[in-house]
Amino acid sequence: MKAIMQLMAENQISALKYKTKDETLELTRGAVAQPAQPAVSAQPVAAQPEKPATSAKTINAKFVGVFYTAGNPDDAPFVQVGDTVKAGQTVAVIEAMKMMNNVVATEAGRITKVLAANEDLVEYDQPLFEFESL
């Protein structure tokens, strides 16, 4: 997705629409008009508690596409919570534009959370797994 946006910028393309039988992808570069903001009320708003900062490391999606936990529907998942992984080990697959792309562990660690469900549509840089370093 990032590469497509870069090509759009380099070639001064402001909009792109790609349509298949089942899917449509529309990309637009440039400023987007913001909807009008409602008037601010004079009433004080209760402070929201801050979320604690997390130090968990994540394995993020490198593509926009469909997330798969296994290479085939009948196979066991590549990894599950509690599994130990090595740097470079395949932990999932993302199907992007009919191509399967391996998601690999960035470093050795233990999987603590799986953040995406099998067959979820995931976005670029979306966290897919949390892990703790070993």
This prediction's pTM: 0.59
Bigger pLDDT: 65 or 29? Answer: 65
Exposure b/e, 40-66, CB count within 10 A at least 16 = b: eeeeeeeeeeeeeeeeeebbebbbbbe
Which pLDDT belongs to residue 85?
96
- Considering only the top CATH level, what class is 57-133? mainly beta
pLDDT digits (tens, 9 = 90+) for 94-119: 999 889 999 999 999 999 999 999 99
Residue 55 pLDDT > 50: yes
* 130 band by pLDDT with thresholds 50, 70 and 90: very high
Q: Which helix (H) or strand (E) holds 5?
A: helix 2-10
